Structure 1
Amino acid sequence: MIATVYLLLATLTLGAPIPHVPLAPHAVTLRIAVVGDTGEGSDRVANGIAKLHARTPLDAVIITGDAFYPCGPSSAADPQWNRVRALSRIGVPIFPVLGNHDFCGKSQPSAQIGATVVPHWQFPARQYVIDSNLTELLMLDTTPYATARNDDAADALRQSFAGKKTTPWRIAAGHHPIVSSGYHGHFPRDQHVRMVTLDPLMRHANVDLYICGHDHHLELIDANPRLLISGAGSDPVPPLVPHKHTLYPSEASARLGFATVELDALSMTIRFFDGDGKAISKPFVFKR
């Protein structure tokens, strides 16, 4: 009987299909704001995103982890949830991934999964896919992978992106960077080395863009896949040494802000904004 129960649990967890969440763009272009590491309080950057949304409507907000400091919420009643209410008031779906701060203290990562505490919070599982007619966007839980506790992130990549592309773009998002000009692009060394092993899997899967946070700055690196770091949501820290293929920024600065990813059938456009919603970079346009 016990063996049967364990077999059932293994079937339900290890081989469970990755849930898919539909996201329909409001127009021919899909526009997503990307912000991360908002745990010190997201009100200012949320207001900046709201101002941008009023000018040019967004379809969703992605949080690249660590929406709560010092540790994630322990239950639906945890007052920590107030930290993301300003983002929820923007009125578009919020798609988070877990960050390392969601695994410390008394936090329960499971408290965020399927939560209905704040409006528009869409977090069906630790790893899930956002589906639109323009992109397959795989949301990854990278903390257990970076710390070598399991290989679920790599398995999710292989499972979700096993076949040929069915949309113009294929994107992955997680908390930890693969390459970055910030501290976490180098240290802790074992975590950096571990994350780099995802790089060939993403290339094999024809991933066009990897989105992350963890480092508290804004950066775009021209690599394969291209790398977008957006972790300046509440406590910005300047990058250490610019990567040789960094497109933005041209100089190190500690600036609060966020990024946008805009997709249509033929192009992907990435741009950076400060905490007040003002553009601080040119549009970086990449053709298929």
Structure 2
Amino acid sequence: MKKFRVRLIFLILCMFFNGSLSKLERLEHPVTKSDGSLNILVVGDWGRQGGFNQSLVAHQMGIVGKQLDIDFVISVGDNFYDDGLKGDTDPAFEASFSRIYTHPSLQKQWYSVLGNHDYRGNVSAQLSHALTQKDWRWFCRRSFVLCSGMVEFFFVDTNPFVDEYFTDPEDHTYDWSNVLPRDKYISSLLHDLDLEMKKSRATWKFVVGHHGIKTAGQHGVTQELVDQLLPILEENKVDLYINGHDHCLQHIGSDGEIQFLTSGGGSKAWRGVILPWDPKELKLYYDGQGFMSLHITHSQVKFIYYDISGNVLHQSTLPKKSKTFGSIKRLFI
């Protein structure tokens, strides 16, 4: 009985001081601009040792990064093709990352999630501090929360949600160490994510994952995320869901709802596939290479899509509005 009381007091104290029992790692990225704004680049599906125009995309990222004076970069997964990294000494890390994103403006922190191709290699290698020692910019975890001023980014490991990786692996081997049993992993992740979102007082809530929830791309909608993750995002009034996986650039959304942004054009693209989608929701579908920027203030977030030549394909502004008033203003270039 005494042990029970001690345990109960411990749990209450944890809840009091931490706000929740969530196990998600929380990070702080300092805000350096006087107005509190943030400028970010987002790229995905890139790690091909410079091939398939990866180097050209990186060059344009550097130019735009300088123009915007970016604070950091987000990678939405599939960081190293075709089968992730073999270990933390794999030369592919430097060949696909350090030697490619060399522009001075890109010498900022990179926050990354894992893609399905990363899970085909040694996952622990990408999570290893040994890579950070090789290149200080690199930070990759399965799931974590990044706080930066007015914004909280919820990075989510979406790979274990996908049934086909377990039931029909297509002759691929996936590194599920520290994931199995799968049901417990997913349940814990959703629980922790919901807790972190509910205690958040951030002006903006963005979720970053690899797989698409709404997409007209080749891979199609990830139904497991629609069924299990999307309700949590909607309940907690998330503003943006940002992903890769489909090798294209997309913006899907309706007024007053979550905006779904795909930035998976970091290297190999031009798949020639676009699935049917409501044209009122599909604001952009570009079947090619490129990347995206986010400019965030207290009153709005502006996202811009660029092609491999640095041309602006599409831009849209999402205002921070009350529950009743406001609308999304769109600009097309």
TM-score, with normalisation over the residues of structure 1?
0.85
Q: 1:227 to 1:264 in 2, by over 3 A?
A: same
Q: Write the letter of the residue equivalent to 2:318.
A: F
Match of 1:266 in 2: 299
Match of 2:175 in 1: none
CA distance in 1, matches of 2:113, 2:274: 25
The CA deviation at 1:54 is 1.8
* Contact 2:43 2:265 (C-alpha < 8 Å) held by counterparts: yes
SS at match of 2:312: coil
Instruction: Tell me the secondary structure at the aligned position of residue 161 of structure 1.
Output: helix
Match of 1:108 in 2: 122
Shift of 1:239: 4.5
Check conservation: 1:88, 1:120, Cα contact below 8 A: no
Q: Distance in 2 between matches of 1:160 and 1:128?
A: 10
Match of 1:181 in 2: 216
Partner of 1:286: 318
| Counterpart residue number, 1:203 | 234
Which range is displaced more, 148-157 or 134-143?
148-157
Query: Which deviations, in whole Å up to 9, do the C-alpha atoms of 1:113-172 show, x marking residues without a partner?
Result: 13313231122x311111111211011111012237341542342132122x41210011
Deviations 1:41-62 (A, max 9, x none): 3322111110111222111111
Question: Per-residue deviation at 1:39?
Answer: 2.3
Q: What is the identity percentage for the equivalent residue pairs of Structure 1 and Structure 2?
A: 28
Distance of aligned partners of 1:199 and 1:275 in 2 relative to their CA distance in 1, 3 Å threshold: same
What whole-Å deviation, never above 9, does each CA across 1:157-189 have from its counterpart, x for those lacking one? 2132122x4121001100011110012224xxx
Larger Rg, first or second structure (1 or 2)? 2
Paired residue for 1:122? 139
TM normalised by structure 2 equals 0.74
Write out aligned runs for 1:1-288 (5 A).
17-27=23-33, 28=35, 29-40=37-48, 41=50, 42-81=54-93, 82-85=95-98, 86-87=100-101, 89=103, 90-104=106-120, 107-113=121-127, 114=129, 115-116=131-132, 117-123=134-140, 125-147=141-163, 149=182, 150-151=185-186, 152-163=188-199, 165-186=200-221, 192-197=222-227, 198-223=229-254, 224-236=257-269, 237-244=271-278, 245-249=281-285, 253-281=286-314, 283-288=315-320
SS at 1:92 equivalent:
coil
Over residues 199-238 of structure 1, what are the superposed CA-to-partner deviations in whole Å (9 max), with x where a residue is unaligned?
1110011111000000110001114321001101101134
- Give the whole-Å Cα distance in 1 for the aligned partners of 2:83 and 2:242: 22
SS at match of 2:58: helix
- In the aligned structure 2, how far is the partner of 1:35 from the partner of 1:69? 15
Q: Deviation per CA, 1:238-266: give whole Å up to 9, x if none.
A: 451352111113xxx43210011111001
> Take 1:145 and 1:241, find their aligned partners in 2: how far apart are those partners?
22
Three-state SS of the structure 2 residue aligned to 1:43 is helix
Distance between the aligned counterparts of 2:25 and 2:32, measured in 1?
23
Mapped partners of 1:20, 1:276: distance in 2: 36
Judged with a 3 Å threshold, the aligned counterparts in structure 2 of structure 1 residues 156 and 71 are, in CA distance, closer, same or farther, namely farther
Aligned 8 A contact 1:259 1:270 in 2:
yes
Deviations 1:61-94 (A, max 9, x none): 1111001110111222101102011236521110
Aligned to 1:185, the other structure's residue is in SS state coil
Kept after mapping to 1: 8 A contact 2:211/2:243: yes
Contact 1:157 1:202 in 2 (8 A): no
Contact 2:24 2:193 in 1 (8 A): no
Identify if the C-alpha distance between structure 1 residues 47 and 26 changes in structure 2 by more than 3 Å, giving closer, same or farther: farther
Paired AA for residue 168 in structure 1: T
Tell me, what secondary structure is at the counterpart of 2:198?
coil
CA distance in structure 2 between the aligned counterparts of 1:139 and 1:276, rounded to whole angstroms? 29
Q: Is contact 1:142–1:153 with CA below 8 Å preserved after alignment? A: no
Separation of aligned partners in 1, 2:39 and 2:317: 14
> How many residue pairs end up in the alignment?
261
Question: Could you say what secondary structure the match of 1:55 adopts?
Answer: helix
**1: CA distance, partners of 2:29 / 2:46:** 23
Mapped to 2, the partners of 1:39 and 1:155 lie a distance apart of 32
Letter in 2 for 1:215: D
